[in-house]
Every structure is written in C-alpha cells, then in structure tokens.
Structure 1
Amino acid sequence: MSVRRLLAILLLCSSHSLAEPPALRFSIAESWSMPLVRIEAEQPVEGIVFDIIQGIARETGITPHYHVMARLRLQEAMESGDIDVRCYVASQWLTDRPGDYIWSIPLIEQRDLLVGRPGETAKASAEGLQAQAIGTVLGYHYPTLEGLFARGHLQREDSRNQLLVLRKLQAERYQHAVSNQLSLQWFNRQLPAQQRLPAVAVLEEQSLGCMVRRDPALPTQAVLRALVRMKQSGEIERIIQRYTEADGGD
C-alpha cells in the first residue's frame, strides 16, 4: 500500500472519529413509571424525563446512553463516576452531594400529595388521619411522614413504583396513599370524574433539576445552557402538559 493511500485512509478515519457526536450516560431509575418514563427492553421510550433528555440531545448534538438502575444505586453511581447526567432529582434526596457534579437551574416543581379514594372531598392532614397503612413507593423517603411512621401511627405499604401504589388505592387496598402530583395527574387523566383519585393534602414541595458531571472531556456547560433554553422557551412546561393534561372524558 502506498504511503499516500495510507495517509488518505488515516485522514478519513480521523475525520469520521471527529464527526461522531459525544455520548453522555443518563441515569434512569427503574422504579419510575409514567408519566416520568416508560421502559421497554431496558430502555426508556417515552415520558417526561425521556423527552427532556431528547431535548438536551437535540440542543447539544450529544448521543444519550441510558443506564437503567435501582433508585438506591443512583447516588453510588454518581460517586463512582458511572453516570454523567442525573435528571429529576432534588438536593434533599442526596445524603451526600458529589462535588464533581454541577446543578442545573430548577426545571420542575414537584408536590408530594396525600391521596384519597374516589369521592373523598374533605381536606385532610397526615397528622389527622386515623392509624392506618398508607401506600408508598419502596425506597422513597417521605420527610413529613417519618415521625408518624416512627411512632407506628402510620405504616408504610410499599410498592415497586408509583403507578402500582395508585392502582392499589383504586382497588381499595388502603384508604390513602402518597403520590407526586405528576403521577396522579397521569393516572387520573383518562378516568371519568367520579373515579378520579383526589388529592386531600399537600405534604411537601420540591424543586427538581438535573446534575451534570464536571469533566473537561464532557460538554457540561453546553448541557446546562441547553436546559436553561428549554426552561425559558417553555419547552419543559409543554413536555409536562403533554403527559398530564386531562383527556376530558367525564
């Protein structure tokens, strides 16, 4: 092979390598359900978090690689550098804050709600409930309820994800459950009005965002700027509305 041809091949390979978009590893909690994400064959295919990540990819030109893992492994994966971006996270959820990650601006305001059975109209408080088991998600921490759990006034009835919690409430397995507002809106959106599960109290409100690994080899600032643009343009809100607005069937 001539030197000229060898150089041409090397130049072509080098150009192809430079043209490949950077890849970022995004964490997906396997306990998530719709409207956050729907997982098929170990990969997300739709949902609020999926659409936000797709928006990041479109804005920055990166290729997202999805790492589906147990929620309790997320912080360990961050500390060991096994993921580059974690979205849908609040600072209160972290026992330690890894110093090599940068927070995005707040993207979503989440409310944790006390939810009752269909037809329940009276507002309530967790402290005012009679002693009972309430629906919760396995591995989730509920700061406003921890004292009631510790005293045994309320007992956790854990399920694998939020959707199962609401389905069990609908099936009258318990009288009340805890749900984030987005999941409750998704669950209720196709139900007739008389069958919808009502929120009877707001337990906690949190600002959620993304954390991006600080690494010179990664387009960290590009991702953070993309999220600012998506928030300011209203794209984040439009994504949420796409999955939570009622279908209108009464």
Structure 2
Amino acid sequence: MRFLATALLLTATLAQADDRPLRFAVVDSWAMPLAQIENGELTGGIMFELFKETARELGRPAAFHIVPRARIEQALLSHSVDVRCYVSRTWIEHEFNDYRWTAPLMVQRDLLVVRDAPADKLETLPSQSVGTVLGYHYPRLQPLLDSHWLSRDDARNQELVLKKLRIGRYQYAISSEFALNWFNRELPEAERLRIASVIEETPLSCMVLDAPEVRADEVLSVLAKIKASGKIEQILDHYR
C-alpha cells in the first residue's frame, strides 16, 4: 500500500512537471542580438530562440523571467528560475550546488573596439575611460582599474556602450563580437566600429535547477542534443 501511494505521488509530481512552465532567466541588461526585450517581455534574439527550442524539445511551456543583473544570483539562490544560460563559472560568486551545469554551448569573444582611434591592446592604452556594461566583470580590465590607470564608463547594456563610442563619448569600448556585428550590420563601411584587439574568449554554458519539477536530467540532455545537432550554430547564424 505504501509502495502504491509513493508511486501515485511520483506520477502526480511528473505530471505536474510536464504542465509547469520551465522558467528561463533573462537578464534585463541583455540587448540584441542576444535578446530583444519589449515592454518587459522577451520577444526575440538568440536566447529567445534557444529557450523556445529547448521548451519545444521538452514538450513544456516556457516562461521568461526578466531579472535585473544585480539580482540574478538572488534569483538562483531562491530557486525562482529554473534555467540560466549564457553564463560562465568565472562570472559567478557562489557555487549554486542546487544547479547543474551543461557543457559549453557557445563562446563569447570580448573585443576592444574603436571608432577612429589607433588600434591597440588593452594593456597599452593611455590612461582614460573605457566603455563598459554596468555590472559586467572584465577580468583583464580589472588590474588596470585597480591601479586607476583606466576607469569604467558604464552603460546599461551593450548597445548603449557602442552608441556612446560612436558619438565620441570615449575612444575605446569593450564589446562582445555578437553585439559589435549586430551594431555594425546597417552602418556604411566607413562608419563601422572596428576591432582593436581580442581581449578574451569565454565558453558559456547553462545552469539547470536540480529539482523533481524541473527534471534536470531531461533539460541537460535536450540542451546537449540541441548543441550536437548544430541548431545553436544555426541560431547564431541568423544574427551574424
């Protein structure tokens, strides 16, 4: 009798997991091509396509939780999101033992970008402000900030950083390759921002909550399948 009750409870739990939306974290500072956020809703971009494909493969509805960058780790600690993607272990301060990591799904290349200044490497720049995204951590930039040789000029998202560079608010900015290519796509060749140097390349993964209602094994398996199928590269190609 006890076995039957346990089996029924497990069956009910699994049925609820199928009905319950999978909650994906969306950082509010993301911009295109990573994410299009309109009126507080995720409506397009690389992560939108990846999340929708993941939910489709799982046969579950997707829910997109817009989270301020400063509160993303609290959202994980409180289990208010099930999946956080586009993240590296080097970017987080806590272990988050309740979450399991996928293998790397894509790579972010961070670039030193210029408008009309001479191309140079980060470590050889004259003392000045550099365009950065509020809340982003840049490991190679940090020693230069600590020495007060360089300072940050923060903007809310990557698109605003590049817009400020284009109008001359500073001479140099740090940008992901995805964001730079998207920003340049409709500009005349002569007006496009240029790469001064590659700062670093970071493999990015997803974190999945290990809980019965999430079914972490299934989510991890589906993300691995999407990666192996070449679907992620197809999504990225839409925005290159």
Q: Does 1:26 align with 2:24?
A: yes
Partner of 2:220: 224
- For structure 1, list consecutive stretches of 5 or more residues without a partner in the other structure: 1-13, 245-250
TM-superposition CA deviations, 1:133-180 (whole Å, max 9, x none): 110111111110111111111111010110000000011111000001
Q: Please tell me whether the aligned partners of residues 149 and 155 of structure 1 are also in contact (alpha carbons under 8 angstroms).
A: yes
1:137 matched to 2:133? The reply is: yes
| TM-score between both structures, scaled by the size of structure 1 | 0.87
Secondary structure at the counterpart of residue 127 of structure 1: helix
Question: Which residue does the alignment assign to 2:167?
Answer: 171
CA distance in structure 1 between the partners assigned to 2:236 and 2:114 by the alignment:
23
- Secondary structure in structure 1 of the residue aligned to 2:110: strand
1:233 and 1:25 mapped to 2: Cα distance?
A: 23
Alpha-carbon separation, structure 2, partners of 1:143 and 1:215? 33
Q: Distance in 2 between matches of 1:229 and 1:189?
A: 31
Contact 2:16/2:213 (CA < 8 Å) preserved in 1?
no
Q: Displacement of 1:123 after TM fit?
A: 4.0
Of 56, 59, 63 in structure 1, the residue corresponding to residue 57 of structure 2 is 59
The structure 2 residue matched to 1:125, chosen from 107, 121, 126, is 121
TM-superposed deviation, 1:20: 6.2
SS in 2 for 1:58: helix
Answer whether contact 1:21 1:61 (CA < 8 A) is retained. no
Q: Which residue of 2 aligns with 1:50?
A: 48
Gaps of 5+ in 2: 1-11
Amino acid at match of 1:240: L
- My pick for the range that moved more, 43-52 or 148-157, is 148-157
Match of 2:191 among 190, 195, 219: 195
Distance in 2 of aligned mates of 1:152 and 1:171? 25
In structure 1, give the amino acid aligned to 2:182. W
State the match for 2:3 in structure 1. Answer: none
Structure 2 CA distance for partners of 1:196 and 1:65, relative to 1, 3 Å: same
How much has 1:19 moved relative to structure 2? Answer: 10
Shift of 1:216: 1.7
Are 2:238 and 1:242 aligned? Answer: yes
Give me the TM-score of the superposition, normalised by structure 2.
0.90
Residue 18 of structure 1 and its aligned partner are, at CA, apart by: 6.7
Query: Which amino acid is 1:35 matched to?
Result: P
Rounded to whole Å, the distance in 2 between the matches of 1:201 and 1:95 is 28
Distance 1:65 1:202 in 2: 35
| Deviation, structure 1 residue 217 | 2.1
Partner of 1:116: 114
**Equivalent pairs: percent with the same residue?**
44
Larger radius of gyration: 1
| Root mean square deviation of aligned Cα | 1.6
Equivalent residue letter for 1:29: V
One-letter code of the match for 1:234? G
**Count of residues paired in the alignment:** 227
Match of 1:82 among 74, 80, 83: 80
